[in-house]
Amino acid sequence: MTPGQAAQRLISSFRLQGITVGFAPDPTVAGSKSYVGVPIWMWVENPTPLSFGPYVQTTTLGAVTITATAQVTSIVWNMGDGTTVACANAGTPFVVAYGAVDSPTCGHRYARTSATQPGGTFPISATSQWQVSWEGGGESGMIPLTTTATSAVRINEIQSVNVGDSR
């Protein structure tokens, strides 16, 4: 068995997972919604070695000992409105005290409501781009992998009416 074949076999045993979506507003809370033009924050909630890395395994197959390390290098968010957002890190968890400001690391603003979408929500997917580096038997290499997590968000519209002075 070549080192590359051993690496492939080891990496195929990995049980990498999609992230747990961190999203403000939180789409897992009943009735949670946001509004057109209001900042949305996205992040990796409770990252683990299997959902974000680093995940390291070593094994010996035949006469070859291989070590492989998997790490997420970016997350591509499909926002359901035709927009994708690529984030180079785990994002910043939202805290209410921040107020209605843009995320410093990974965010989006919807330009239209989700009212015409099936279920009245935009489907969201977060595709993690993994880079798996391996070495052993005097060789090394890199293998890209992806995992995906999904959610949905309801985006409403706020309308205001200005009433002039009736004097």
Rounded Cα distance, 96 and 104, in Å:
15
pLDDT tens digit string along 93-129? 998 888 889 999 999 999 999 999 999 999 999 999 9
- Predicted pLDDT at 28: 62
pLDDT tens digit string along 35-55? 898 899 999 999 999 999 999
pLDDT tens digit string along 67-87? 999 999 999 999 999 999 999
Rounded Cα distance, 120 and 152, in Å:
9
User: Domain segments of the chain: what residues?
Assistant: 3-156
Rounded Cα distance, 144 and 140, in Å:
14
- Predicted pLDDT at 145: 96
Confidence of residue 27 (pLDDT cuts 50, 70, 90): low
Alpha-carbon distances of 143 from 10, 39, 74, rounded to whole Å: 12, 35, 15
